[in-house]
């Protein structure tokens, strides 16, 4: 589970830190930087998949010209803050202890990338991975001159206890790709270090970014395709896989009955001439409503059920504008689903929202991990602050509902006043 991410000179953030919990809600006005947080998570996700820095920030194509990875919005020209030449991302996460003790270790990965050179493309300036206070690896490019032969390299020193050398083992890595995914294949590195890097990469790789689109969710899909696409592709085949379990089938039907006026009691998956199936909702009266005719809100809710209950779930989900298409009086059902799955199955969900109603429905535990993204008047840098850390927020929340505070603009006013007061001290 990712517990924090720090953004330095990344997009519109000069230096900001987001603390995460099992369910993290991000609020803020338009252009405050909410989508830039998504880009930061996508960067560390692409990093974990073994892509080069150019592919992470740009695009990744595979054989046949198929686009496998969409890059970071704005490319190298806009990934760094206000014309800066580099940026740094620090990700804190907990992973299972590879020694089998049942506990979780906290790892902290830091990567600094130079995006100034248009000829060679983005390059590593520095990268490190720590387990607690102990370094697994750390690069020191200022102390190691570049190799004069072959491609440019980044030099990394492993801990000094390796082979009892005073300064540790010195290894060489390509500087156009994160060390995190190079170290596991480096035969000179100690097995424990390779396994730690591999565990970190695996945790960051299990991430999905949902930006659901009605046309994608209404498309038939082949049985056996059990991973929901980012836009909602394969919705019907994922639901079909879920419905193989009678208890889950009944649970999904109950969720839909709660959400909509439809008295759904079952689901049908009729194949077309190519073998693809499209989900049809069956009501107690026998009325059938296919995905072609279902409302966008119903499809979005089904897609989120498919993502969280499907046979091949991720560890981390990022959802933009989770409230889109969901009636305000039904938002509590969506929150119940997310909080329940996060609690029972260890999933982690991060979402953005503009909905005051959704904020007002957050449980006390989820409220602890809700954050405001904001920009002060006349400034370009974005800031992040947990709602409970806003001065006077705890006291005010005892008297007023969070939804009303958000709707009235109190949150932004409170942080602006606090920032001004802190600056004058």
Instruction: Give me the DSSP letters along 119-177.
Output: TT--EEEEEEEEETTEEEEEE-GGGSPPPSSSS-EEEEE--TTGGG-TT--EEEEETTS
| Alpha-carbon distance values, 393 to 219, 371, 381 (Å) | 45, 12, 23
Q: Is the dihedral of CA 70, 73, 77, 83 positive or negative?
A: negative
Q: How confident is the model at residue 337 (pLDDT cuts 50, 70, 90)?
A: confident
Average confidence score pLDDT of the chain? 87
Confidence band, pLDDT 50/70/90 cuts, at residue 322: confident
* Confidence check: pLDDT of 17 > 80: yes
Report residue 103's pLDDT band, with 50, 70 and 90 as the boundaries: low
Task: Tell me what the mean pLDDT of segment 248-256 comes to.
Answer: 92
Cβ(173)–Cβ(125) below 8 Å: no
Better pLDDT: 174 or 222 = 222
Of the ranges 94-103, 134-143, 284-293, 412-421, which is most confident? 284-293
Q: pTM here? A: 0.90
Q: What percent of the chain has pLDDT over 70?
A: 90
Q: For the segment 147-178, what is each residue's pLDDT rounded down to a tens digit?
A: 444 445 566 766 544 343 444 567 888 889 99
Query: Sign of torsion, CA 117 120 124 125?
Result: negative
Q: What is the mean pLDDT of residues 188-198?
A: 88
Residue 97: band (very low, low, confident or very high) from pLDDT cuts 50, 70, 90: low
Comparing C-alpha atoms, which of 303, 368, 358, 312 is closest to residue 336?
Answer: 358
Q: Which residue has the tokens 């839909």?
A: 256
Tell me what pLDDT residue 166 has: 44
User: Phi then psi for 154, rounded to 5 degrees?
Assistant: -110, 135
80-94, 108-122, 146-160, 262-276: range with lowest mean pLDDT? 146-160
How many beta carbons lie within 10 A of that of residue 122, not counting itself?
A: 25
Q: Distance (Å, rounded) from C-alpha 182 to C-alpha 138?
A: 13
pLDDT classification of 341: cutoffs 50, 70, 90: confident
Does residue 199 have a pLDDT over 70? yes
Task: Report which of residues 324 and 217 the model is more confident about.
Answer: 217
Q: Is the pLDDT of residue 425 over 70?
A: no
Pick 331 or 318 by higher pLDDT. 318
Please give the average per-residue pLDDT across 329-344, as a whole number. 87
pLDDT reported for residue 84? 93
Residue 80 phi/psi, 5-degree rounding, is -100, 150
Confidence of residue 333 (pLDDT cuts 50, 70, 90): confident
């Amino acid at each position: 589970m990712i517990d924090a991410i720090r953004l330095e000179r990344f997009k519109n953030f000069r230096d900001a830190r987001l603390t995460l919990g099992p369910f993290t809600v991000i609020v803020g006005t338009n252009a405050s930087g909410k989508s830039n947080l998504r880009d930061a998570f996508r960067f560390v996700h692409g990093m974990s998949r073994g892509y080069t820095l150019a592919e992470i920030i740009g695009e990744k194509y595979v054989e046949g010209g198929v686009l496998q990875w969409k890059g970071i919005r704005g490319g190298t020209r806009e990934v760094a803050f206000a014309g800066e030449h580099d940026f740094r991302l620090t990700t804190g996460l907990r992973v299972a202890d590879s020694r089998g003790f049942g506990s979780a270790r906290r790892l902290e990965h830091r990567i600094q990338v130079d995006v100034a050179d248009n000829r060679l493309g983005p390059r590593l300036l520095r990268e490190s991975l720590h387990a607690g206070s102990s370094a697994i690896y750390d690069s020191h490019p200022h102390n190691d001159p570049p190799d004069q032969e072959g491609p440019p390299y980044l030099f990394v020193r492993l801990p000094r206890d390796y082979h009892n050398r005073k300064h540790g083992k010195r290894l060489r890595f390509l500087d156009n790709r994160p060390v995190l995914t190079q170290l596991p294949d480096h035969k000179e590195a100690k097995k424990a270090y390779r396994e730690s890097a591999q565990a970190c990469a695996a945790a960051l790789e299990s991430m999905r970014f949902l930006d659901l689109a009605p046309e994608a969710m209404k498309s038939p899909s082949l049985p056996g395709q059990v991973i929901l696409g980012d836009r909602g592709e394969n919705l019907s085949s994922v639901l079909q896989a879920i419905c193989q379990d009678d208890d889950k089938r009944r649970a999904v039907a109950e969720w839909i009955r709660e959400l909509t006026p439809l008295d759904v009691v079952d689901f049908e998956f009729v194949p077309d001439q190519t073998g693809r199936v499209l989900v049809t909702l069956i009501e107690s009266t026998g009325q059938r409503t296919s995905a072609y005719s279902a409302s966008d809100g119903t499809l979005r809710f089904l897609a989120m059920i498919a993502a969280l209950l499907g046979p091949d779930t991720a560890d981390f989900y990022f959802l933009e504008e989770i409230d889109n298409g969901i009636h305000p009086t039904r938002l509590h059902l969506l929150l119940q689903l997310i909080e329940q799955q996060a609690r029972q199955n260890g999933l982690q969900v991060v979402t953005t929202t503009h909905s005051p109603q959704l904020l007002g429905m957050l449980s006390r535990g989820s409220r602890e991990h809700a954050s405001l993204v904001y920009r002060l008047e006349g400034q370009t840098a974005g800031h992040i602050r947990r709602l409970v850390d806003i001065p006077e927020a705890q006291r005010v929340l005892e008297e007023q509902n969070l939804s009303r505070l958000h709707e009235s603009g109190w949150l932004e006013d409170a942080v602006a006043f606090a920032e001004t007061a802190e600056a004058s001290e």
